[in-house]
Amino acid sequence: MNLPHLMLQASELGIRLEIVNGLPIWEAQPVYRHQKQIDRINRGLRPTAGAEAACACIYAIDVYIQFANGLKRPDISVFCREPPEEEQDGALTTIPEAVIEVVNKGFEAKDLEIGPPFYLSQGVKDVVVFDPSTLLVLRVRKDRVSRQVSPVDIDLECGCRVTV
């Protein structure tokens, strides 16, 4: 059984399957409240004033990204350019500039503890994690970690601003 087939089977069962450094990690499919938060955050994504030419602030929702050491399905991936056409029918290999995760109840460790260091090790510059239950907004970069309370505007390194 190959990996794409396994991923499709997991999806049919209502499970999101990811692989981090060889370790399979599962999560239940997102619920309505989770999806509503993703939509709200996407509507708040825009270029930072004066940075329009640097990054187009393109986002992808819940798509597989093939990293060197795993396969993840971030809630929101932010790219400066559209991923190449030949990647758009499968897992993307283009590394996002930023990743935004919305915590699902019961899966806090996946998004708050496992995800951020993995994403940074794979070349993602900004990792933002939002917990709708506590309103915690965790921003992780290579050089610092900050904790804020939603709603907050965050200027991403790529030249995009997002309201979380």
* 59 to 14, 31, 40, 104: CA distances (angstroms): 23, 20, 13, 20
Of all helices (H) and strands (E), which one includes residue 129? strand 126-131
Q: Mean pLDDT of all residues in the chain?
A: 91
pLDDT at residue 30, as a whole number: 80
Does pTM top 0.85 for this prediction? yes
> What is the CATH number that goes with domain 30-163?
3.90.1570.10
Q: Domain segments of the chain: what residues? A: 30-163
Amino acid at 128: V
pLDDT tens column, 26-79 = 887 788 999 999 999 999 999 998 755 689 999 999 999 999 999 999 999 999
- Cβ(62)–Cβ(56) below 8 Å: no
Vertex 13, ends 4 and 77: CA angle to 5°?
Answer: 55
Q: What is the mean pLDDT of residues 11-34?
A: 82
pLDDT at residue 3, as a whole number: 55
- Cβ(101)–Cβ(126) below 8 Å: no
Nearest to 78 by CA among 3, 158, 146: 158
pLDDT at residue 1, as a whole number: 45
3-state DSSP call for residue 37?
helix
